[in-house]
Amino acid sequence: MVEIVRNSETDPCEDLLDGLRRGRPAAGQDPVKRSQIIDGARRVFIEKGFEAASMNDITREAGVSKGTIYVYFANKEELFEALIEEERGTIFKNMYDMLDRADDLRQTLVKFGKVLSMKITSARVIQAQRTVIGASDRIPDMGARFYERGPKRGHDKVVTFLNAAIERGLLEIDDVDLAAYQFTELCLAGLFRQCIFAYRTKAPTQDEIDHIVRSGVNMFLKAYGTERLAEEESHEMIAIEAKS
């Protein structure tokens, strides 16, 4: 609005103004500020849920002004969606790495099952899932998008993994897709619904998870394991025994 022509050499305000101007990203483009907002939003949304979280709370928590938030996110819903997107990324990041190594089948399943079960039932992730579920009435497709890009992708990786094991002759599975679901469910047996309904107020212990996953993997392999698997496992047993 006001065009100020100044001689930058002599202007005593130079430094100050420069600092403000230099390298300032375009509106809504500064990734640091964006993170700052999302971090504040996370704390508030996760604690209070979508509706009960107020933009003022987020403002305070994020340490930015309300106006700024509205530069980065069109409204509360968009902010929430962005947060969930990020959260999803964090949750499922690395969760399936284990499946890439072609290790001993049983052990891989157990290890992966534990990671999966622990992540999905961790306080933070449960809270996030609850918030997504609660908000999906308001923001249609939000839950679907979350599932598709999170659990669904994971599921696909499990399918791939199982197919590889089938290829190796270790498993014999009629409906691989279903088997993948079965495996996941067995690893979470009793836990997911208890956590999501807040019947359990604390995440399951390591021991609980160990017990559940081990039992689930047994069941799974009893159902789908081949002769070959049995042999391999006995070899390994021997190997392990030999080691000890």
Partner DNA sequence: TATGAATGAGAATTCATTCAT
Partner DNA sequence: GATGAATGAATTCTCATTCAT
Task: Please report, as ranges, the residues that interact with a second copy according to CB under 8 A.
Answer: 2, 4, 6, 11-13, 15-17, 47-52, 129-138, 140-141, 143-144, 146-148, 151-152, 155, 174-175, 177-178, 181-182, 184-186, 188-190, 192-194, 196-199, 201, 211-212, 215-216, 218-220, 222-223
37 Cβ neighbours under 8 A, 6+ residues apart: 58, 62, 64, 68, 69, 72, 73, 79
The answer to whether 215 contacts DNA (rule: CB under 7 A) is no
CA atoms within 13 A on the CB side of 118: 14
Burial, 99: exposed, middle or buried (Cβ in 10 Å; 0-12, 13-18, 19+)?
buried
Q: Which is nearer to a second copy, 111 or 153 (CB)?
A: 153
> Binding to DNA (CB under 7 A): which residues in 54-73?
54-56, 64-68, 70-71
User: Rg for the chain (alpha carbons), in Å?
Assistant: 25
The answer to whether 35 contacts DNA (rule: CB under 7 A) is no
Contact 209, 117 (CB under 8 A): yes
Q: Which is nearer to a second copy, 166 or 196 (CB)?
A: 196
In the complex, minimum distance from the CB of residue 243 to a second copy, in angstroms, rounded to a whole number? 27
The answer to whether 19 contacts DNA (rule: CB under 7 A) is yes
